[in-house]
Structure 1
Amino acid sequence: MTITMIYHITTRANWEKQADEPLYEADSLHTEGFIHLSTAEQVPGVLERYYHDVPDLLVLHVDPNKLTGDLRYEAATNNEHFPHLYAVLNKDAVVTVEPVTPTLQLR
């Protein structure tokens, strides 16, 4: 069975601040009610639109089959459907943490 990863972009500082916790909370969970995620195809656009000049970013590779919270694909302003997690992110669903580099390749 092929698992289609989804991805979350965060700063290294935010990820490391929660390093000893079993759960990860993005700021958007408190401000918007969900954690923003993306498909592999959506990550480059998200990086360009929202993180253009933000240094030291990480991309979390998330196995959606391991999530314990409510995951929904919802239309964004451009009518693209993005995955949104309506809960904290259980870290055992994060299979890889990778620095964002100019040569980042997601599958």
Structure 2
Amino acid sequence: MTPIFHLALLHDWEDAQRTGAYTVSTRGRTLAEEGFIHASRADQWTGVRDRFYADVAEPMVLLQIDPALLDVPVIDEEPFPGATETFPHIYGPLPVTAVVKTIPLDQRVAVEAPAGRTPSPAAPAAPVRPDVPQESFTRAYFREVFFNVAVVSIVLLVGTSGMALGATLPGDAGPAVGGLLGLVLGILLAVRVYRYRHPRPER
């Protein structure tokens, strides 16, 4: 079975070895708080590390997990609505016996990706300002949810405004025409906002 991976602080992993189970969900969040343990595939963990752990100074390890050795569900889910990829989530404690390999990350050891997939490059971590708090995974998740809700609200607001304006036109078709035009304008505006928020990467 294809392995999955989890980024762990060394002291958290050492605690798990003493108790027999690992119960940290992600940086600053426990399994009890999050409801599951965040994990990644081989081509995903470097991106997660660079985004959420770039400023971590203490030792870290990469846990290589064999899903076949888990006695809890592993579900591939979107980290937030509209995401373009899914991540494996472990819905329960991670027994240390399911961790088949630990890799110290101070050497930035590369992990081979599954056939047909390209691993993310292990690029040097971006410099981090010490006076700026780093965004947690949960905070990023809810920020993305609120953004998507705002985009949908724009479409509904413009569409409703179009119907109201259409009601002032002569004929029974006025509200329908106004609503349709408002909906089209709302979608176009939402697309512009979404593209501004999620610019396409340069090739």
TM-score normalised per structure 1: 0.89
Task: Give the corresponding residue for 1:11.
Answer: 9
- Other-structure match for 2:22: 24
5 Å-filtered alignment, 1:43-82, equals 43-55=45-57, 56-77=59-80, 78-82=83-87
1:10-58 deviations in Å (ceiling 9; x for gaps) = 1011111222122111143111100000001001110011000112111
Q: How many residues align?
A: 105
1:102 positional shift? 4.7
Unaligned runs of 5+ in 1: none
Q: Which runs of 4+ in 1 moved over 4 A?
A: none
Unaligned runs of 5+ in 2: 113-203
More divergent stretch after superposition (93-102 vs 53-62)? 93-102
Task: Decide which structure has the larger Cα Rg and report it.
Answer: 2
Distance 1:92 1:102 in 2: 24
Q: Does the C-alpha gap of structure 1 residues 79 and 28 become closer, same or farther in structure 2, counting only changes over 3 Å? A: farther
Comparing 96-105 with 36-45, which one deviates more in the overlay?
Answer: 96-105
Partner SS for 1:84? strand
Q: Structure 2: how far apart are the matches of 1:10 and 1:73?
A: 20
**Higher normalized strand content (fraction of residues):** 1
Retained in 2: the 8 A contact 1:28–1:36?
no
For residues 78-98 of structure 1, give each alpha carbon's deviation from its aligned partner in whole angstroms, at most 9, with x where no partner exists: 332000011000111100111
Partners of 1:24 and 1:4 in 2: how far apart?
Answer: 20
Distance 1:29 1:40 in 2: 22
- Larger helix proportion, structure 1 or 2? 2
Instruction: Give the share of equivalent positions with the same residue, in percent.
Output: 34
Higher relative contact order (Cα pairs below 8 Å, separated by 6+ residues): 1
